[in-house]
Structure 1
Amino acid sequence: MRRSAAWARAWVRSAPGTHIWLLIIGITSVVVASASEGLGEFLLHRTSSNIHELNEHPVPALLMSGFWIERPGSFLLYVVMFELLHANVERWLGTWRWLLIVGAAHCAATLASQELVLLAIEGHRLPRSMTHVVDIGVSYGLAAAAGVLTYRLRSPWCYGWLLAVLLFFGVPLLTGANFTDFGHAIALVLGLVAWPLTPAGRATPDEDGAGAEQDGARAAPQPGGASEPGAAPDPDSPRQDG
């Protein structure tokens, strides 16, 4: 039990941004679930990054929309997706690079998808009520993280993963897409083009080889279980970023 608790603490500390984000989404989900129907609708519209809110409060609309989900009952599903996608990407890239990629993808996908809605309204293909559409959620950031995770996986698994995410986000885009599908595609592409920000993209071939040799050396067991410099840190030791 103590070992499991120590592992869980180490996992949370290794991806602080992911778990702070999840905590905020959990709080907002409780607020929506416990609010009256009218208040819940008001909150969802007020925190949306739709055309109206972007015109009135552009920065708050972009920021707040990433901390709410429309159906609080799906919170546990988002927990699983955050742990599989965001937590792994944040641990690999570091908090700031992860935040830069998913934040940029969320903002870019939101603005581009709402521009698409605006063009459709001006072309009389959508009603003007769409300026107040509920546009909240964390799916754009998840799409970007799914793209980045492609570079974390080893061959041949990375090709299978890439095919899966392309089908998952591409099929809706090609078969009766809406503005959200368009935003997902943009976020996925931004995650895929973020390769230069990943450790694989920043390393030179020589560094890759040296890193592999060092990793192999570190993996070698030590007599008597003694720790050598460069060995994996104890889960209870403070995390150091650098």
Structure 2
Amino acid sequence: MTEVLDRVRRFAAGRDLALAYAAVVLVVTVVIALQPPHVTEELVLDSSTNLANLRSTPLLVLAASAFVTPSLAGLWILVPLVWAYGAAQRWVGRGATVVVAAFGHVFATVGVATLLAAGIAQHQLSRHLEHEPDVGVSYGLAAVLGLLTLRLRGRRRRLAVVGGTVAAAAYALVSQTFTDLGHLLAWGIGLGTAQVAAAVRRAAD
């Protein structure tokens, strides 16, 4: 038992941000999923960063949407989340990890919302998209993964950057959903912060 506890403590060391975030998302998602179906749907919709909510309560939904997954099936994403946030926290610290994730979540959301609003205004997209649910941790995760490419060196970094970009772009083209376009934007934001971090590191050396 002592050995198990030691392993847990070693794993948790330097990953408290990742584990706390995953725990909150897990609890919130389970509580919402246990409600009657119509209540679950309403709670997810109320937490969504769709255009209607961004116009009425932008700050509230930008924060709330980052702690909700649309269904219990979506909780699988907590596994890569704990790994990525944990790796970032142990490398650059809690503050930098939160900033990168927040930038990815917020700016990818705003970018998607801007494209949706433009498409609807030009009558190229249906107006019902204003109320489509959009919640989850994936934008922040994509940005953190982009940041982590800076930990790689030489050819491995180039392969990660090119491979990740191609994969995200291809998936967005195939799925043709604005959510997957948001993943591509968030990944790009993470890569951008990695370049800034690299420039700062070079200036400090």
Per the alignment, do residues 105 and 160 of structure 1 end up closer, same or farther by CA in structure 2, a change over 3 Å counting? same
Corresponding residue number in structure 2 for 1:184: 183
Distance apart, 1:19 and its partner CA: 1.4
Aligned residue pairs, count: 205
Distance apart, 1:176 and its partner CA: 5.6
Structure 1 gap ranges (5+): 208-242
Corresponding residue number in structure 2 for 1:99: 98
Per the alignment, do residues 205 and 133 of structure 1 end up closer, same or farther by CA in structure 2, a change over 3 Å counting? closer
Corresponding residue number in structure 1 for 2:14: 14
Equivalent runs, 1:160-175 vs 2, <5 Å = 160-175=159-174
Contact 2:142 2:190 survives alignment (8 Å): yes
Per the alignment, do residues 46 and 206 of structure 1 end up closer, same or farther by CA in structure 2, a change over 3 Å counting? closer
Q: Of Structure 1 and Structure 2, which has the larger fraction of its residues in helix?
A: 2
Structure 2 gap ranges (5+): none
Paired residue type of 1:56: S
**Cα RMSD, aligned residues only:** 2.0
Paired residue type of 1:122: A
Per the alignment, do residues 43 and 14 of structure 1 end up closer, same or farther by CA in structure 2, a change over 3 Å counting? same
Distance apart, 1:125 and its partner CA: 2.1
Corresponding residue number in structure 2 for 1:44: 44
* Correspondence 1:122 to 2:121: yes
Contact 1:169 1:185 survives alignment (8 Å): yes
Distance apart, 1:206 and its partner CA: 8.7
Q: Distance in 2 between matches of 1:12 and 1:201?
A: 30
Paired residue type of 2:115: L
SS across alignment from 1:35: coil
Contact 2:149 2:160 survives alignment (8 Å): yes
Paired residue type of 1:96: G
Please identify runs of 4+ aligned residues in structure 1 that moved more than 6 A: none
TM-score, structure 2 normalization:
0.91
Contact 2:47 2:65 survives alignment (8 Å): yes
TM-score, structure 1 normalization:
0.78
Q: Distance in 2 between matches of 1:131 and 1:170?
A: 24
Q: Distance in 1 between matches of 2:201 and 2:103?
A: 23
Q: Distance in 2 between matches of 1:78 and 1:40?
A: 20
Equivalent runs, 1:82-97 vs 2, <5 Å = 82-97=81-96
Corresponding residue number in structure 2 for 1:214: none
Per the alignment, do residues 112 and 123 of structure 1 end up closer, same or farther by CA in structure 2, a change over 3 Å counting? same
Deviations 1:105-160 (A, max 9, x none): 10001011011111111122222221111010011111101111111123333233
% identical equivalent positions: 25
Paired residue type of 1:9: R
Distance apart, 1:4 and its partner CA: 3.9
* Correspondence 1:202 to 2:200: yes
Q: Distance in 1 between matches of 2:131 and 2:161?
A: 34
Q: Distance in 2 between matches of 1:65 and 1:193?
A: 23
Corresponding residue number in structure 2 for 1:234: none
SS across alignment from 1:150: helix
Corresponding residue number in structure 2 for 1:144: 143
Paired residue type of 2:136: G
